[in-house]
Amino acid sequence: METTALRLDFIQALGLDEQNAGTSTGSQWINTGGEAIESFSPVNGHSIGVVESTTAEAYDQVVQQAQKGFEQWRSWPAPKRGEVVRQIGEELRRLKEPLGKLVSFEMGKSLQEGLGEVQEMIDICDFAVGLSRQLYGLSMHSERPGHRMYEQYHPLGVVGIISAFNFPVAVWSWNSMLAWVCGDACIWKPSEKTPLTAVACQKITQRVFEANDVPEGVSCLVNGDFRIGELLSHDGRLPLISATGSTRMGKQVGAAVGARLGRSLLELGGNNAIIVSEKADLEMTIIGAVFGAVGTAGQRCTSTRRLIVHDSIYDTVTEKLASAYKQLRIGDPLDQDNHVGPLIDHAAVEQYNKAIDAVKEAGGRFIVEGGVLEGSGYESGCYVKPCIAEVKNDWPIVQHETFAPILYVMRYSEIEDAIAMQNGVPQGLSSAIMTSDLREAERFLSVAGSDCGIANVNIGTSGAEIGGAFGGEKETGGGRESGSDAWKAYMRRQTNTINYTTELPLAQGISFDF
């Protein structure tokens, strides 16, 4: 597929140029003179655009403008802020196809998944609109006569958002749409591997904000490598940093933000498992396991990494998996007949190869062999074969998250052992059990069951809906994004007591006479 043709299609529809400013305070784009960030599509290895990185000086300018914007934005009624977000959702509906194609082409996920990611953005806009009319606090009874107590939530300030390449637009929207209806300003640092999708989103937001006279600085964009992330993390002017990415990155962000007593919302790596009971529906199991393992070429934080299968059905399940893998079509993700696209870049391919070597060195057996694909259609060097390896749960490589389509399978005999294996990794994001046994399902969901932030029954580990809070425990970071009451992370809580009498009784019956 020729780059020139693409520029006349979805890239042009999104208002992107060959040379793009990468720093914005809303309507203003800043020419920083910073280093060029060139975006190469893993689909064909071609350059699809250049984005100018943010310098330290430009970053400071952005933060100052975001602070000014926040001071005005926080005073807008929350439903009015929600109305602006509603219009963003409408603009995303209008541009769903070109933006979905850009996500697919710049990141490498299938077109269906690219379009699905934009739909997640639309869904979170809808969620945020409703939320804007119910940012509720609690009321409580005072022990003192003539007193009323309640709590309320106020906008927090300027929120820094650091997102990863694998969901280049959806995770930003999970944070920003909620933060905006809460009254915060946002500064977004996208992955340097997917800068064009971020510029496209900023342009979409910019049009809606300008039409509604939203203050300058409420939506800001900065681009660059880890150095920009460090500026955000160490900046005391930003009370909250929401970071999505690797556990290694999250530990660095958490330490920097914690040192200044700021807040961090961390959504980090996963090492997700499906327990396959002898009472599982095997047709459902194979569908869930295959999509979970190969969707987005294994580059989801919720990708299925491990399959823990009961002894009695182990051979049947692995045979069915091997048969299903033979039917996978790997190639250009914009071709909807293909199931699996490329890995993000050559560094990801190298990690994939190292993981395969580590499995072999540990004594693992490959049920489905892996390898890098070559030849026509695979010129970028980023296409790999999804593979399946028989392993032990405690092997170092199995304990580690490899962002690639490698599925580890292992056996169990008792449900207690399966749950222990599921929990026996440093990460705690997503988990699932396939079973028709109510007792097994409830045990898996009980306090002694899965220790993950997400625990599913008879569905896979990926494909979370925006209505529920998204995130996990242990080295996954403990943060929660998207639905439920995740909005509280973007606000500050305040307890209020009102005395409507002519006396001043003290709490706990304390007497203070003079």
240-244 and 139-141 as β-strands: parallel, antiparallel, unpaired? Answer: unpaired
Q: What is the pLDDT of residue 7?
A: 53
User: How far apart are alpha carbons 121 and 180 in whole angstroms?
Assistant: 14
pLDDT in tens, 339-393: 999 999 999 999 999 999 999 999 999 999 999 999 999 999 999 999 999 999 9
324 sits in which H/E element: helix 314-326
Instruction: Give the amino acid at 134.
Output: Q
Report pLDDT digits (tens) over 136-173: 999 999 999 999 999 999 999 999 999 999 999 999 99
For the annotated catalytic residues, the residue numbers are 267, 301
Supply the pLDDT for residue 287.
Answer: 97
DSSP class per residue in 192-239: TTSHHHHHHHHHHHHHHHHHTTPPTTSEEE---SHHHHHHHHH-TT-S
DSSP string, 387-404: EEEE--TTSHHHHS--SS
pLDDT of residue 1: 41
Sheet holding 47-52, edge to edge: 19-20, 47-52, 36-40
pLDDT of residue 8: 56
Query: Distance between CA 130 and CA 424 in Å, rounded?
Result: 39
pLDDT computed for residue 87 by the predictor:
98
Q: Which residues contact 151 (CB under 8 A, 6 or more apart)?
A: 137, 138, 139, 140, 493, 494, 495, 496
Confidence (pLDDT) at 511: 82
pLDDT at 507: 81
Which residue in 188, 236, 261, 214 sits closest to 87, CA to CA? 214
pLDDT in tens, 278-332: 999 999 999 999 999 999 999 999 999 999 999 999 999 999 999 999 999 999 9
Partners of 384 in the β-ladder: 372
Contact criterion met (CB below 8 Å) for 117 and 99: no
Amino acid sitting at position 508: Q
Question: Which pLDDT value is given to residue 6?
Answer: 57
Ranges of residues in the chain with a pLDDT under 70 are 1-8
List Cβ neighbours of 40 (8 Å cut-off, separation of 6 or more).
Answer: 46, 47, 48, 345
Question: What angle is formed at CA 114 by the lines to CA 85 and CA 6, rounded to 5 degrees?
Answer: 105
Query: Global pTM?
Result: 0.95
